[in-house]
Amino acid sequence: MENNAVSVHEYLEGILFLKVHAFSKFHWESDSSKFIEAPDNTSVFHTTYTPSFSFEFKSFFNYIIFWKYYNKNLNIFMMMNKNCRRPIEWYKKLQREPMLNLLWAGMLLVGIAYAAFTGNISLVSEAALDSAKEAVTLCISMVGVMALWTGLMHIAEETGLIAQMTKAARPIVRWLFPDIPKGHEAHEHITANMIANMLGLGWAATPSGLRAMEALGRLEEERRKTGRSRLPEAAASNEMCNFLILNISSLQLIPVTIIAYRSQYGSVNPTEIIGPVMAATACSTAAGIIYMKIRGRKRQ
């Protein structure tokens, strides 16, 4: 419940440019499941919102603006409450890469130490400043492509196109995961996750993927109880392994960000990689499917 409120806070920050300090120390482990279980309706939002008030407004003035917006644009809030997870999931994905801490620090420290060793140290400060500047230029030129894509995807979502694609993909998922009983909720989440991945909607893929994992966890729990599974607790079920292999084999069809980067660095034809990427993705996914089918057969 709390996390539902957090997501609204974060969104507020984007819209109103208020300094809203949401619970700054919430962790990935604690939020993944609860976040998702939170229902999408504003009546809940009302009741839980006030008691969990834990942010500071910088001034009374901001506070007034906040209430004005809040009362006036309740329908916007409703809409946001439905959509708010997407940008935030993305943000989290970028912020919470556990390996990045060491990688990044390593890059800087090794780079500087090596430069001092080889006498290139004079180049380092210039490179650091230039790279920082370049990152900003890159982002500015990326905004266009990103906005175009998310805009299109929003149309697809609102008109029910994505829902239709999800429906169309159901037989494939049934073929890939034959052991999931018919009508089990896991089907739905897996399909949603796959479609989101195909369209490059990372922020929409993560929540549905986590939901799928949870559904698969419950399924395995049931199997354990009825004695159909001999796997110990805290071990991944076949379906979990298969789902992740599929996920990691990359299903993305149009690599939007790479296209944006390519055009920024002066590619004559930035989109020429779409076809090859589709072919390469098909290869990696096919390899993953073949492997998981072989492993799945072994167990029986």
Partner 1 sequence: MKLLGYLSELTIPLVIFYIVGYGLLQKKQVYEYFVFGAEEGLRIVVRILPTLVGLMVGVGVLRASGFLDYIGGLLGQAAGQIGLSGELIPVIIVRMFSSSAATGLCLDIFKEFGPDSLLGRTVSIMMGCTETIFYTMSVYFMAVKVKKTRYTLQGALIATFAGVAASIFLAGKMG
Interacting positions 222-251 with partner 1 (CB under 8 A): 232, 234-236, 240-242, 244-245, 247-250
> In this structure, what are the phi and psi dihedrals at residue 59, rounded to the nearest 5 degrees?
-150, 170
**Going residue by residue from 167 to 206, which x/- string records binding to partner 1, judged by CB under 8 A?**
------------------------------------x--x
Least distance to partner 1 from the beta carbon of 209, Å? 6
Which one of 4, 81, 166, 252 is in contact with partner 1 (CB under 8 A)?
252
Which positions from 28 through 57 interact with partner 1, judged by CB under 8 A?
A: 28-29, 32-33
Considering the rule CB under 8 A, would residue 17 count as an interface residue with partner 1? Answer: no
Considering only 152-160, 170-178, 182-190, 222-230, which stretch makes contact with partner 1 by CB under 8 A?
A: 152-160
Least distance to partner 1 from the beta carbon of 119, Å? 9
Considering the rule CB under 8 A, would residue 280 count as an interface residue with partner 1? Answer: yes
Distance separating alpha carbons of residues 196 and 202, to the nearest angstrom: 7
Distance separating alpha carbons of residues 32 and 207, to the nearest angstrom: 8
* Non-local CB neighbours of 17 within 8 Å, separated by 6+ positions: none
Give the alpha-carbon dihedral of 136, 27, 97, 261, to 10 degrees: -30
> In this structure, what are the phi and psi dihedrals at residue 171, rounded to the nearest 5 degrees?
-60, -35
Distance separating alpha carbons of residues 44 and 38, to the nearest angstrom: 9
Which positions from 85 through 124 interact with partner 1, judged by CB under 8 A?
A: 86-87, 90-91, 94-100, 103-104, 107-108, 110-112, 114-115, 118, 120, 123-124
Using CB atoms within 10 Å of the CB of residue 145, give its burial: 0 to 12 exposed, 13 to 18 middle, 19+ buried.
middle
Q: Which residue has the tokens 């300090």?
A: 21
Considering only 40-48, 57-65, 169-177, 282-290, which stretch makes contact with partner 1 by CB under 8 A?
A: 282-290
